[in-house]
């Protein structure tokens, strides 16, 4: 009986040892597989954002797109090139004020590579009523999506409409489509290479920048202030930096005696819309439009366009109060 118990004990010990051996072998195999995955991942070149740079284009790769448009674009941070096409042919007034193209008549298209010969494009086209239908058809036929059609001003003469567009694919093909659409309008071809403009445009630019706590740039006789949101923004799952048009845009056009006409838009999440609208109205700034610009943006953003003509610094204080109601990137 004692011998049988010893035999059972030895059998159990052998089984336990075999089980432990299998566990050790499986652990070693799992560690080897994990190590292999790490080595493969680390072998791909990485940029500062941690994404593979295997298919990132060289700076000279913009040339094919520049050649299509026929004028140089502005190379911006985060791999974006933007082609600005102000409607200098139009003479638009709001409340007796002639709108400078740089204030609210700026058409543009911005491109960003997302892979080899693969880019995304976003932009606005500024159109008269009779230009809308043929331009829209040309974009759609060429594979560039129309993502919105609406106003940015109110009470303007003649009436102006804005097409927002987006696309993903061959950048040269998309650029050709956009160029063909623009050719259906009377938009002049920009020449580029303009001289640096004076910041003495009729109001205290530095004071406005201090109030807003944001830097600005004078171009086309207008002070431009662009403000980024804090969130990471995507469109159709692709990273979309503020330079692709997904930020806050504030523009001041001097109207004499320290006054300015302001126009632009706040990019807002749904919960920010009400508080920002109230602050603007309380400070004499009219919200003139509220809508989306993209179809698949994350987070979902709504754009509140605004208008006012008053003392520039007074308006800056109201705009700053509205900025304080949004989730801004720190600078």
Q: How far apart are CA 263 and CA 168, in angstroms?
A: 30
Could you tell me which residue, 14 or 108, shows the higher pLDDT? Answer: 108
Q: What pLDDT was estimated at residue 302? A: 98
| CATH architecture group of domain 56-194 | 2-Layer Sandwich (3.30)
Percent of residues, the chain, with pLDDT higher than 90 = 76
Among residues 271, 249, 289, which one has the least CA distance to residue 149? 289
271-310 as b/e: b if 16+ CB within 10 A: ebbeebbebbeebebebbbbbebbeebeeebbbbbbbbbb
Mean pLDDT, the chain, integer: 86
Q: What is the pTM of this model?
A: 0.81
Number of H helices and E strands in the chain, helices first, is: 8, 18
Q: To which H or E segment does residue 116 belong?
A: none
Per-domain boundaries in the chain: 1-43, 56-194, 197-331
SS3 62: helix
What order do you get walking across the sheet with 80-86 strand by strand?
74-76, 80-86, 106-115, 118-128, 160-169, 145-150
State the average pLDDT over residues 102-124.
95
pLDDT tens, 160-198? 999 999 999 999 999 999 999 999 999 998 876 555 667
Share of the chain above pLDDT 70, in %: 79
Q: Does 35 score more than 50 pLDDT?
A: no
* pLDDT over 50 at 42, yes or no: no
- Beta carbons within 8 Å of 330's beta carbon, 6+ residues apart: 230
pLDDT classification of 117: cutoffs 50, 70, 90: confident
Q: Cβ contacts of residue 117 below 8 Å, gap of 6+?
A: 170, 171
Q: How far apart are CA 126 and CA 274, in angstroms?
A: 28
* Strand, helix or coil for residue 276: helix
Half-sphere exposure of 66 (CA within 13 A, CB side): 14
What is the per-residue pLDDT for 24?
42
pLDDT given at position 12: 43
pLDDT score, position 171: 96
In the predicted structure, residue 262 carries a pLDDT above the cut 50: yes
DSSP 150: E
- Residue 43's pLDDT is 42
- The mean pLDDT of 73-78, rounded to a whole number, is 93
250-260 mean pLDDT: 98
Dihedral sign for Cα 44, 47, 50, 55, please.
Answer: negative
């Amino acid at each position: 009986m004692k011998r049988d118990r010893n035999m059972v004990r030895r059998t159990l010990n052998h089984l336990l040892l075999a089980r432990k051996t299998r566990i050790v072998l499986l652990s070693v195999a799992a560690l080897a597989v994990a190590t292999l995955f790490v080595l493969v991942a680390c072998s791909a070149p990485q940029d500062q954002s941690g994404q593979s740079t295997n298919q990132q284009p060289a700076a000279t790769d913009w040339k094919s797109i520049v050649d299509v448009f026929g004028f140089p674009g502005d190379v911006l941070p985060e791999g974006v090139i933007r082609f600005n096409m102000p409607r200098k042919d139009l003479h638009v007034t709001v409340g007796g004020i002639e709108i400078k193209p740089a204030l609210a008549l700026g058409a543009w298209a911005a491109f960003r590579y997302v892979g080899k010969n693969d880019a995304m494009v976003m932009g606005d086209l500024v159109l008269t009523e009779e230009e809308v239908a043929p331009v829209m058809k040309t974009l759609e036929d060429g594979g560039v999506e129309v993502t919105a059609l609406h106003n940015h001003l109110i009470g303007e003469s003649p009436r102006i409409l804005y097409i927002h567009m987006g696309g993903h694919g061959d950048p040269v093909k998309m650029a050709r489509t956009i160029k063909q659409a623009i050719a259906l309008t009377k938009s002049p071809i920009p020449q580029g290479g303009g001289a640096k403009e004076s910041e003495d445009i009729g109001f205290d630019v530095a004071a406005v920048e201090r109030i807003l706590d944001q830097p600005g740039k004078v171009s086309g006789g207008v002070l431009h202030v662009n403000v980024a949101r804090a969130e990471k923004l995507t469109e159709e799952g692709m990273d979309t930096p503020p330079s692709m048009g997904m930020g806050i845009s504030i523009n001041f056009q001097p109207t004499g005696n320290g006054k300015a006409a302001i126009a632009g838009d706040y990019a807002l999440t749904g919960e920010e819309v009400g508080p920002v609208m109230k602050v603007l109205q309380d400070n004499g700034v009219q919200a003139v439009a509220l809508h989306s610009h993209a179809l698949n943006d994350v987070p979902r953003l709504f754009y509140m366009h605004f208008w006012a003509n008053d003392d520039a610094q007074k308006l800056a204080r109201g705009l700053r109060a509205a900025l304080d109601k949004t989730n801004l990137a720190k600078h």
